[in-house]
Chains A and B, each alone.
Chain A
Amino acid sequence: MTQLGLQLQAATRALADAGLRPPEIDGLMPFPNLGSAEEMAASLGVRKLRFAATINMGGAAPVASLRAAAAAVTAGIATHVLLPAGWNGYSGRRARETVAMEVHSIPGGAIARDYYFPHGFVAPPQWYALIARRHMHEFGTTPEQLGAIAVAMRKHAQLNPQAVMRGKPLTLEDYLASPMITAPYRLFDCCLETDGAAAVVVTTAERARDLRSRAVFLMGAGAAQPYPADDIATRPDIFETGLTLAAPEAFGIAGVTPADVDFAEIYDCFTFEVLQQLEETGFCGRGEGGAFVQGGRIELGGALPVNTHGGLLSEAHVLGMSHIVEAVRQLRGDAGERQVKDAEIGVVTGWGDFGDGSIAVLRR
């Protein structure tokens, strides 16, 4: 199925779940570079498209779009907003190749072209591995700690019928024995490349009560950029991400703290980005992420289950939209074997480009 077809399939299923017909949609927020609102609206029979926008934050776009869509429906400039995301990440061009081949696909593309690519610094795992290496130097973070993240995601995938890696368990020994890709990242530090799509529908809480669907509520959200956002290699505070600014804002609006959160779906393009986002979101202090992820703390049954679906690392790479879908399933109590008991509040984050960050605090 084509990239557009996958997204339309996810969109129609999300609309059916919401109890809406496609023509009732009047807002569309496609993922950057993966399809236009115009072609999606035409295919779905959306004749009154009042609000179409794309947030240019790479993998942080779905959660940032969740915030923008909430603002749009609250302000009355749209009634029901559809957020689709999907791609042929496996059968088409691989995710790892995208940036070097399409320099304008990211906001920092001109800097990458002129100052990174000539030195062979061409792809996301290389960019982020720099930060991981420096974190190891400053805080003593270890490969075993990164491995604990890979192992936790894989454990969760065993409980998810949709996960690509279901039936393929992973031990810490397997992780440490896996080939180096771009040090300190090994094969199992890296996410999957997948054909897949997911979609979410956003409307006001009041209208949601009239729909068939069991709505999940957005308590607070944030989306921001690190500084400078277009240059990751020379950023003065190399550990800063968009979440550094966005997370306190989101928790402030929600009126809760990280301690109140029952589970977190953290954008896991690579293992270290999970650790870094846990720190910058405030689940632990900067430099404490390594210890935080060990001892089963981020596994189901632990203090903060992370990526209960298996994430990009072990479920599928669906651009972070799947993280929102998983949070909805958890908060509805529909997560089956991997259900977090009595889940009331969940956090979803996004990470994109050179560290753009987004976060949503959701409740049932």
Chain B
Amino acid sequence: MADAPTPPLPTLAGLAGEFYGWCKKHELRFQRCTACGTWRHVPRELCAACGSWDWEWARSSGRGRVFTWTVAVRAMHPAFQHAVPYAPVVVEMEEGVRILSRVTDCPPDALEVGMPVAVAFDDVTQEVTLPTFRRAPREE
């Protein structure tokens, strides 16, 4: 049987390269405007809230909650044929930004809106580390 095709990988150029560079160090960082303090994801050149070009890669707490998801039962890309069923999940981070990822230790059927999750990292190749999530304890 032929090996599964390689999953699609992000380009490591520009701001995406910087974002994934932090992930490779197992740090989840998002852009934060140093003029108005607004966090943003996906990365952008300037702040859509105030127009400032000044920003930093600020470290996220890594904690968030499940906002929504879909359970992919039928693969729509050959690289994910062997992964079904799996769930692309939108996580809303404590900082307020949302990120598309997966919760790797949770069966798709057990996902719930509001479920607390914490970032983990998946070193998919020597160059690329994807931010993923695991279930986290419920807090008061």
* Chain B residues, Cβ within 8 Å of A104: none
B88 lies within 8 A of A121 (CB): yes
Q: In the complex where A96-B76, A100-B76, A122-B80 touch, is A130 in contact with B7 (Cβ < 8 A)?
A: no
B69 close to A (CB within 8 Å): yes
CB-contacts of B50-75 with A (<8 A): 67-74
Distance to closest chain B CB from A180 (angstroms): 5
A115 close to B (CB within 8 Å): yes
In Å, the complex CA distance between A231 and B43 comes to 11
A126 lies within 8 A of B70 (CB): yes
Distance to closest chain B CB from A286 (angstroms): 16
Closest to A96 in B: B76
A120 close to B (CB within 8 Å): yes
Q: Which of A61-69, A131-139, A210-218 contacts B (4 or more CB under 8 A)?
A: A131-139
* Chain B residues, Cβ within 8 Å of A131: 68
- Can you list, as one digit per residue, whether each of B87-131 has a CB less than 8 Å from chain A (1) or not (0)? 010100000011111100000100001000000000010001010
Interface size of A by CB at 8 A reads 35
B10 close to A (CB within 8 Å): yes
B8 lies within 8 A of A118 (CB): yes
CB-contacts of A52-91 with B (<8 A): none
In Å, the complex CA distance between A248 and B93 comes to 33
Distance to closest chain B CB from A170 (angstroms): 19
A119: contacting residue among B16, B71, B102, B128, CB under 8 A: B102
A125 close to B (CB within 8 Å): yes
Size category of the B interface is 35 or more
* Chain B residues, Cβ within 8 Å of A179: 73-74
Q: In the complex where A120-B88, A121-B88, A234-B100 touch, is A115 in contact with B10 (Cβ < 8 A)?
A: yes
- Can you list, as one digit per residue, whether each of A11-40 has a CB less than 8 Å from chain B (1) or not (0)? 000000000000000000000000000000
CB-contacts of A94-138 with B (<8 A): 96-97, 100, 111, 113-123, 125-126, 129-131, 133-134, 137
In Å, the complex CA distance between A182 and B72 comes to 4
In Å, the complex CA distance between A114 and B41 comes to 12
A234 lies within 8 A of B8 (CB): no
A130 lies within 8 A of B88 (CB): yes
27 contacts between A and B (CB under 8 A): A114-B11, A118-B8, A118-B10, A118-B124, A119-B101, A119-B132, A120-B7, A120-B79, A120-B80, A120-B83, A120-B88, A122-B77, A122-B80, A126-B70, A129-B70, A130-B68, A130-B70, A133-B70, A137-B68, A137-B113, A183-B71, A184-B70, A231-B42, A233-B99, A234-B42, A234-B97, A238-B68
Q: Which 8 A-B pairs have the closest CB atoms?
A: A129-B70, A117-B8, A183-B71, A123-B76, A121-B88, A134-B68, A233-B100, A234-B98
